[in-house]
Amino acid sequence: MHGSVILLGPPGAGKGTQATRLSEVSGRVILSTGDLLRAAVANDTELGRAAKGFMDAGELVPDNLILGLIGAHLATLDPNQGILFDGFPRTIPQAEALTTLCQIEMVLCIEVIDDAIVERIVGRRMDPQTGEIYHLVHKPAPPSVTDRLIQRRDDTEETVRTRLSTYHEQTAPLVDYFSSLGLLRCVDGGQDIDQVHADLITAMTDE
């Protein structure tokens, strides 16, 4: 069974950025359901066509589709490969299913207040060539790449507000769920990126 670490937190908490850095230092492979779904949409697969409407509306893709996607990806990995989940699980049924698929070592929760999230997400831009995430105000891209930056289609203010309420209704209950299993470790995601990274490393290595 794969050992796994889960990154939990609202949209825009910095899970993707921190996952990349944690993967570099821990050797764990990242499994991001958001990235896998966006690839499925871009490739116009059956899953992509089923998921697109939910994603554009800021709603969750149904659990059965997500669990099929996760199961298919886990099957391609060496069972000894450690995993870092980004954006999964997002519902209690997903979390319960995961406990049968992986050994969950810990859940790292990145906490950010709602007011900060909207500002962060609406200014978020990505360099499609490198995958690097920038922010119009807080992390401007170098002039050489500004022309090619793209904005995620679900990063508009209206969709962000729906994604946040979806998070509070369906995903935030996972905080108590994983806390009751003794797996939860929380860090303050309102700090600068390097400090959040340092706190995550401390949380990961604490006995």
H/E stretch holding 47: helix 46-57
Nearest Cα residue to 178 out of 16, 9, 33, 19: 9
Residues 61-90 that bind ligand AMP (CB under 6 A): 61, 66, 87-90
Alpha carbon distances (Å) from 127 to 34, 130, 140, 142 = 17, 6, 11, 11
Q: Mark residues 154-193: x for contact with ligand AMP by CB under 6 A, - for none.
A: x--------x------------------------------
The least CB distance from residue 8 to ligand AMP, in Å, is 11
Does the annotation count 124 as an active-site position?
A: yes
In terms of CB distance, is 59 or 105 closer to ligand AMP?
A: 59
Marked catalytic residue, from 38, 124, 125, 185 = 124
Q: Are 5 and 86 in contact (CB under 8 A)?
A: no
In terms of CB distance, is 103 or 165 closer to ligand AMP?
A: 165
DSSP at 146: G
- Catalytic residues, by residue number, are 15, 90, 124, 152, 163
